[in-house]
Amino acid sequence: MPTVKGDGMRGLAVFISDIRNCKSKEAEIKRINKELANIRSKFKGDKTLDGYQKKKYVCKLLFIFLLGHDIDFGHMEAVNLLSSNKYTEKQIGYLFISVLIGANNDLMKLVIQAIRNDLASRNPVHITLALQCVANIGSREMAEGLSVDIPKLLVSGDTIDSVKQSAALTLLRLLRSSPDIIPMGEWTSRIIHLLNDQHMGVVTAAASLIENLVKKNPEEYKGCVSLAVSRLSRIVTSSYTDLQDYTYYFVPAPWLSVKLLRLLQNYPPPEDPAVKTRLTECLETILNKAQEPPKSKKVQHSNAKNAVLFEAINLIIHMDSDPNLLVRACNQLGQFLQHRETNLRYLALESMCLLATSEFSHEAVKKHQETVITALKTERDVSVRQRAVDLLYAMCDRTNAEEIVGEMLEYLESADYSIREEMVLKVAILAEKYAVDYTWYVDVILNLIRIAGDYVSEEVWYRVIQIVINRDDVQGYAAKTVFEALQAPACHENMVKVGGYIMGEFGNLIAGDPRSSPLVQFQLLHSKYHLCSPATRGLLLSTYIKFINLFPEIKHTIQDVLKSDNNMRNSDVELQQRSIEYLQLSSIATADVLATVLEEMPPFPERESSILAKLKKKKPNSVPDGSEQKDQMPKLPTAQMSNSSDSAQPTSINLMSQGSPAASGAASASVDLLGLGTPTQTTAPPVGGGDGFLVDMFDTLTTSSPAPATNGMDLGGLTGGAEEAFKKFICKNNGVLFENDLLQIGVKSEYREDLGRVWVFYGNKTSFQLNAFCVDISTPGDLATSLSVQQKPVGGEVEAGAQVKQQFNMACVQEFTDAPILNIQFMYSGAQQKINLKLPVVLSKYITPAEMDSGNFFGRWKALSNPSQESQQIFKASAPIDIETTKSKLLGFNVSVLDNIDPNPENFVSAGVLHTRNQQVGILVRLEPNKQAQMYRLTVRASRDRVAKILCDLLQSQL
Amino acid sequence: MIGGLFIYNHKGEVLISRVYRDDIGRNAVDAFRVNVIHARQQVRSPVTNIARTSFFHIKRSNIWLAAVTKQNVNAAMVFEFLHKMTDVMAAYFGKVTEENIKNNFVLIYEILDEILDFGYPQNTDTGILKTFITQQGVKSQTKEETSQITSQVTGQIGWRREGIKYRRNELFLDVLESVNLLMSPQGQVLSAHVAGRIVMKSYLSGMPECKFGINDKVLMESKGGKSGQDEGRGGYVKSTSGASSTKTSIAIDDCQFHQCVKLSKFETEHSISFIPPDGEFELMRYRTTKDISLPFRIIPLVREVGRQKMEVKIVVKSNFKPSLLAQKVEVRIPTPLNTSGVQVICMKGKAKYKASENAIVWKIKRMGGMKECQLSAEIELLNTNDKRKWTRPPISMNFEVPFAPSGFKVRYLKVFEPKLNYSDHDVIKWVRYIGRSGLYETRC
């Protein structure tokens, strides 16, 4: 029998002091081994131990465990302690179990039984101990075993407040670890009403629980909004003396307020006007309170107050509905921008970034531009400066772009290395996005390369070249500027790359000036040659061969360079090959061939800025660009496109690959002049080429199709890019119709007379399942009567990475103009996604070519002389006229191309038969190109009214 | 080379810190403390690499000695130096303890300055060091004495000064061996080797030259052709060892000598000749692995009776001449970690269950040759929820026997001092053999 009873546990104290007095680790281990042997013999002994002894030994074991030794016995004794009625013994038992018994211990069943007994007990202390243990372990088995008991405890009327509080938090813990187990259905309304509880502690605990539940199932808990608003208004309007225990440094219940404000951020603004007004009042009161002088100088007071304020501002931004509130929030944040406290300034910048994206407050944010710029320059903490950069990026628009870009460029020179790369990207994007004058854009980017060349990624300089090539008006200026920039004694390799490329293309534009004569240009570039990496040298070699084409007078100088051992026998195979092949090309080929091979690069297809994609990849959540976040822009990887349309091999590349250089370079090296981006043809838009195929992010840049694409849906609710994609299918049957981050849609079609079969392939590009996938086809207007559509159903889910096929049967009843529209809907990561596309089914698909001789043709031609049977259009060619391409387009249009009929061999004459269910319609086409004026005259005659007009329009869109 | 040397007490407090090179910073002291002395797991490797810095440590009772370097040094050299360092300290102030180090810290710094120069080990011979590092007050030395010290330290025979005189020329030779063994439960030898040292204490006048003969196979064979007399003598020497009386020569796997031994002579003539330092020194170290006579055999019998009980029966057999007596025999029988009680019965000696070491320790003070002792124990076990089976660590043993288990013999030791008038016969020589247990284990 122990000599001391009670809580003292002298044996334990002695043991602990022994351990502390040990001189060395070895001595400690010896003492522990001795104690363990003692406890083992005690537990083994036949005589039963009383509660006190058990408690003492279990406690010692716990201590030994905490010292870092394994304990493999004593668990049973600890479980026995749970059934004791003494608080201390129960407490030690629970402590031991929480610390030592893992989730998959055999004893768990016994423990859960003991916990259940305690939960049912009348003594609140015992219940709380049991709840604490559950919260500490929180295993699946526990969640299963106690899924009924704990919610019951939470909503029951006769549990006391402190127990309710613990129960709510324990339940939250179980929900987090095993969310699928707890059935909440029947308790919903009662849990929501906990927000009305008298006791603030219970409300605080319940608010956390409810927020977690809401995240899982927002609909079911919708009722909490009004309760939360009323609770919030009661707190906000109360004075700090009202809530005695829950006032923290003169702020009434700050934690609860923050939790409620967060809870409300899970829902859209309340619809009930009464609730809405009340909420608005609350938010206004919070904003008002921020203006009041502080009641205490203590930092805790201002922290608590600001926590509530920032959460309120977050809610205001989330609701994004009340311009008044947004502007007020913005002003409040503006005050914080100049606050002494760095943390506040950081938070203010961060919140303002969000405010800048809202249409209501964008202008208000802009007022603080000066302050933000000062912050960028003077802040000591780099993370704050980073936020300032983000905010500047977010608040930038056409009006202030020049200034902001200027400031950022200026700051870049002294910026931290950690944020330089991101800043470079941002400057590049802003400059491109808001450039009114492209000379300015070129200046900015060249400055960028000059200041922070190392941080300028490939994408940035690719982009500037794309833009210079696509815009004739800046080419001369760009050439001049890079020429000047290259004259600096030391310039960055990226500058050499840009310079090499641009001068190779447009060097002739400045060659007139004696200061930049061809030889000077060449010598300037060649002076940098030896300092560059092999990749850049390869690019420069391509520039040299282009120079040979541009300036035949320096041909020999360049040939000498190509001939030099340094190039011809370079250890780098790529350089060696280039120099040998270019040398051969320049010496064998005639001037004409050379001119064709080395023709000026065709304009690049407009596409989403690759820089933006990079920025997004780098910081997925921090691109606060309104338009981007709202819609899923179709982004088409170019490589894939050129693969899928292999029939459309650009002719220029074909030319090159016939035993001449750069074929390998074009295929392999991405820096190659000819291989940069998608090689598009020079002479005519390819059948599958991407001209106007993509909607660029920046409407100002789209040269060919200035369709504003600010919102994803344009022209009759079609998803962005759908119209362009549709057009390219007029002359072809298979290909990729649409693609974005989530989905790729491909089309394959087959037509026989009046019957058509279209397969649509939906490829899931994400790594998640797409749910509730449904496809519907609609036939607008009179299309319903002229095209009979049969649709095979498609399954509800698309697995990650999988492809689903759907077949449509389309029979042509009579002639039609519109195309059927495909409505695709699915759920992706909880959000509803909608894509509307025009299915490329047009009248021309139902034509079959017809052969006939000259007499036959003109006989028919004359027979169809009725004005309603003829449609004629004269228009400018959308791309340079090329006979082969035009011919292939006509064939793709399903009409024959008849030779030796028209007296003028330049003209095309075609015939075909249109099959509809009711009748067959003869089609005759005459196309007269005018190469000088780059114009076409197109005449279509058909035996049925309207048909000629429809086909004429369709064909025109392709030329 | 060594960049610095630190001495810590058991708590990790620095007692001595001496940095020899600039590449070792102040933080190295803390790095070792944090990563080795206060490490969560026991650090078992004597070499630790922390932040591109190597720490070599040895532990003497509660004292840690650590050498630090950033370079790629010869680790064996560093450890040799550390051991020498402890020997030197022990020679100056006895046991190396925290107390002693604190009391002699000035002396230790002085020694450290002397035996390491820019991290390169210098003369570590205690006898020589004692001539110029003394614990007495500095007495001003005459010019001759100073020049003598200089010639001593820089001269050819750095380990012995001239002009030593004794009335009685005496010489003590100890052959100290430690036997290491691992044996299977069935009595099969899994591995065994003997590590031996020859420690000599010489009190000889002048500059005597000594010649030392042992029964090494290689030495004897090479001599065999030349002088049959030696061979014969080697064969007829009356053995003091119990077991290896029949064999005449042993195969030494490797050996190393004190710096005083003339290695060139050893290589050409296969004779060990040297001018000994004054006082105690270790003349030679060697290792053998063949034909070891094992002084003891343990026959274990362990039976698990159910999950709650275990029976252990141990028989120890001594295997040497009955006239000899083994001393300090101790058998350590590990017990399972869930032992809750032990009953032991033994016929001879004392046996006790030591919970703090998780072992039964059986001590026998003396034991004659060709005898047998038995111990039986009943171990009670407690059920645990640990499913791992007990790994049964080997039974280990400690002892001391008065012969060399390797069969090593000293054949002769001759002293020549041409300048002074004493001959080999006037020197009184003492030879002693002690065999101790190293890691002497039997699996059960």
Can you point out the beta strands (E) in A265-311?
none
Query: A888-911: buried (b, 16+ CB within 10 Å) or exposed (e) per residue?
Result: bbbebbbbbbbeebbeeeeebbbb
Q: From CA A57, how far away is CA A243, in angstroms rounded?
A: 46
Q: Which positions in chain A touch B385 (Cβ < 8 Å)?
A: 72-73, 75, 105-107
Q: From the CA of B158, how many Å to the nearest CA of chain A? A: 41
More confidently predicted of A662 and A591: A591
Read off the pLDDT band of A619 (50, 70, 90). Answer: low
B285, B255 Cβ separation under 8 angstroms: yes
pLDDT (0 to 100) of residue B141: 60
pLDDT (0 to 100) of residue B216: 85
- Cβ of B340 within 8 Å of Cβ of A37? The answer is yes
- Cβ of A44 within 8 Å of Cβ of B380? The answer is yes
- Cβ of B42 within 8 Å of Cβ of A25? The answer is yes
A505, A547 Cβ separation under 8 angstroms: no
Read off the pLDDT band of A757 (50, 70, 90). Answer: confident
Q: From CA B200, how far away is CA B257, in angstroms rounded?
A: 12
**Cβ neighbours of residue A90 closer than 8 Å, sequence gap 6 or more:** A81, A82, A84, A118, A126, A129
More confidently predicted of A3 and A897: A897
Q: From the CA of A47, how many Å to the nearest CA of chain B? A: 14
Distance of CA B94 to the CA centre of its chain: 17
**Would you call B59 an interface residue with chain A, using a CB distance cutoff of 8 Å?**
no
**Would you call B61 an interface residue with chain A, using a CB distance cutoff of 8 Å?**
no
pLDDT (0 to 100) of residue A498: 87
* SS3 category, A640: helix
- Cβ of B340 within 8 Å of Cβ of A40? The answer is yes
Q: From the CA of B5, how many Å to the nearest CA of chain A? A: 22
The tens digit of pLDDT for each residue in A379-397 reads 888 888 888 888 888 888 8
Interface with B, mutate which of A26, A33, A38, A70 (most B CBs under 10 A): A33
Q: What is the 3 state secondary structure string of B132-189? A: HCCCCCCCCCCHHHHHHHHHHHHCCCCCCCCCCCCCCCEEEEEEEEEEEEEECCCCCE
Read off the pLDDT band of A555 (50, 70, 90). Answer: confident
Q: From the CA of A388, how many Å to the nearest CA of chain B? A: 38
Q: From CA A939, how far away is CA A857, in angstroms rounded?
A: 14
Q: Residue A29 burial by CB count (10 A; 0-12/13-18/19+): exposed, middle or buried?
A: middle
The tens digit of pLDDT for each residue in A198-242 reads 888 899 999 999 998 888 888 888 888 989 999 999 888 887 777
Please check the confidence at residue A181 and state whether its pLDDT lies above 80: no
- Cβ of B385 within 8 Å of Cβ of A72? The answer is yes
pLDDT (0 to 100) of residue A719: 64
Q: Which positions in chain B touch A43 (Cβ < 8 Å)?
A: 340, 382
> Strand pairing of B170-183 and B428-442?
parallel
Q: What is the 3 state secondary structure string of A795-808? A: CCCECCCCEEEEEE
The tens digit of pLDDT for each residue in A323-351 reads 888 888 888 888 888 888 888 889 998 88
Evaluated on CA atoms B260, B264, B269, B270, the torsion sign reads: positive
Q: From CA A738, how far away is CA A744, in angstroms rounded?
A: 6
Q: Residue A219 burial by CB count (10 A; 0-12/13-18/19+): exposed, middle or buried?
A: exposed
Can you point out the beta strands (E) in A651-770?
713-714, 718-719, 735-739, 743-752, 755-764
The tens digit of pLDDT for each residue in A245-302 reads 888 888 888 999 999 999 999 988 888 889 999 999 999 999 898 888 888 888 899 8
Q: Which residue of B has its CA nearest to A105?
A: B385
The tens digit of pLDDT for each residue in A675-727 reads 333 333 333 333 333 333 333 333 333 333 333 333 334 444 566 666 777 77
Q: Which of A710-714, A761-765, A937-941 has the lowest mean pLDDT?
A: A710-714
Place of tokens 């400031």: A407
A220, A252 Cβ separation under 8 angstroms: no
- Percent of chain B beyond pLDDT 90? 50
Please check the confidence at residue B433 and state whether its pLDDT lies above 90: yes
Instruction: Give the closest of B10, B40, B383 to A23, CB-based.
Output: B10
pLDDT (0 to 100) of residue A793: 74
Q: From the CA of B34, how many Å to the nearest CA of chain A? A: 15
Q: How many beta-carbon pairs below 8 A join chains A and B?
A: 51
Among A632-646, A834-848, B80-94, B244-258, the range of highest mean pLDDT: B80-94
Q: Which residue of A has its CA nearest to B354?
A: A34
Please check the confidence at residue A742 and state whether its pLDDT lies above 60: yes
pLDDT (0 to 100) of residue A618: 65
Residues shown for chain A: 959
pLDDT (0 to 100) of residue B20: 93
Please check the confidence at residue B327 and state whether its pLDDT lies above 90: yes
Q: From CA A210, how far away is CA B254, in angstroms rounded?
A: 78
Q: Which positions in chain B touch A68 (Cβ < 8 Å)?
A: 40
The tens digit of pLDDT for each residue in B139-187 reads 556 666 677 777 666 767 778 877 888 989 999 999 999 999 999 999 8
CA distances from A332 to A170, A284, A312, A320, A364 (A): 38, 12, 12, 16, 11
- Cβ of A44 within 8 Å of Cβ of B355? The answer is no
- Cβ of B357 within 8 Å of Cβ of A68? The answer is no
Please check the confidence at residue A796 and state whether its pLDDT lies above 50: yes
Q: Average pLDDT for residues A425-436, to the nearest whole number?
A: 84
CA distances from A215 to A211, A445, B181 (A): 6, 45, 68
pLDDT (0 to 100) of residue B395: 94
Please give the torsion angle defined by the CA atoms of residues A528, A534, A538 and A541, in that order, rounded to the nearest 10 degrees: 40
CA distances from A123 to A85, A112, A118, A208 (A): 10, 18, 8, 26
Place of tokens 């096929």: A805
- Cβ of B355 within 8 Å of Cβ of A37? The answer is yes
pLDDT (0 to 100) of residue A844: 81
Q: Average pLDDT for residues A796-812, to the nearest whole number?
A: 79
More confidently predicted of A808 and B87: B87
The tens digit of pLDDT for each residue in A559-573 reads 888 888 888 888 888
Please check the confidence at residue A456 and state whether its pLDDT lies above 90: no
Q: Which residue of B has its CA nearest to A70?
A: B386
Q: Which residue of B has its CA nearest to A30?
A: B356
Instruction: Give the closest of B40, B358, B382 to A73, CB-based.
Output: B382
Q: From the CA of B406, how many Å to the nearest CA of chain A? A: 34
* SS3 category, A916: coil
Please check the confidence at residue A674 and state whether its pLDDT lies above 70: no
**Would you call B352 an interface residue with chain A, using a CB distance cutoff of 8 Å?**
no
Please check the confidence at residue A410 and state whether its pLDDT lies above 60: yes
Q: From CA A75, how far away is CA B139, in angstroms rounded?
A: 72
Q: Which residue of B has its CA nearest to A68?
A: B40
Query: A118-143: buried (b, 16+ CB within 10 Å) or exposed (e) per residue?
Result: bbeeeeeebbbbbbbbbbebbbebbb
Among A188-197, A605-614, A663-672, A767-776, the range of highest mean pLDDT: A188-197
Strand B272-274: give its sheet, edge to edge. Answer: B272-274, B209-214, B410-416
Among A463-467, A589-593, A606-610, B425-429, the range of highest mean pLDDT: B425-429
- Cβ of A33 within 8 Å of Cβ of B42? The answer is no
- Cβ of B338 within 8 Å of Cβ of A24? The answer is no
Q: From the CA of B358, how many Å to the nearest CA of chain A? A: 7
- Cβ of A106 within 8 Å of Cβ of B385? The answer is yes
A788, A811 Cβ separation under 8 angstroms: yes
Can you point out the beta strands (E) in B335-371?
339-346, 350-354, 359-368
- Cβ of B382 within 8 Å of Cβ of A68? The answer is no
Q: Which residue of A has its CA nearest to B12?
A: A24
Q: From the CA of A66, how many Å to the nearest CA of chain B? A: 13
Among A511, A501, A590, smallest CA distance to A546 is for A501
pLDDT (0 to 100) of residue B17: 93
Q: From the CA of A332, how many Å to the nearest CA of chain B? A: 49
More confidently predicted of A583 and A632: A583
Q: Over chain A, what is the mean pLDDT?
A: 79
Q: Average pLDDT for residues A866-883, to the nearest whole number?
A: 79
Q: What is the pTM of this model?
A: 0.57
- Percent of chain B beyond pLDDT 70? 90
Q: Average pLDDT for residues A350-365, to the nearest whole number?
A: 83
Tokens for A698, please give them. 């920046």
Q: Which residue of A has its CA nearest to B385?
A: A72
pLDDT (0 to 100) of residue A96: 92
**Would you call B338 an interface residue with chain A, using a CB distance cutoff of 8 Å?**
yes
**Cβ neighbours of residue B376 closer than 8 Å, sequence gap 6 or more:** B311, B312, B313, B314, B344, B345, B346
Q: From the CA of A80, how many Å to the nearest CA of chain B? A: 16
pLDDT (0 to 100) of residue B291: 87
Evaluated on CA atoms A33, A34, A35, A38, the torsion sign reads: positive
Q: Average pLDDT for residues A638-643, to the nearest whole number?
A: 35
Among A285, A232, A283, smallest CA distance to A260 is for A232
| ipTM value for the complex | 0.70
Q: Which positions in chain A touch B393 (Cβ < 8 Å)?
A: none
- Percent of chain A beyond pLDDT 70? 86
Beta bridge partners of A123: none
Interface with B, mutate which of A18, A72, A77 (most B CBs under 10 A): A72
More confidently predicted of A804 and B49: B49
Q: What is the 3 state secondary structure string of B185-208? A: CCCCEEEEEEEEEEEEEEECCCCC
- Cβ of B355 within 8 Å of Cβ of A33? The answer is yes
Q: Which positions in chain B touch A57 (Cβ < 8 Å)?
A: none
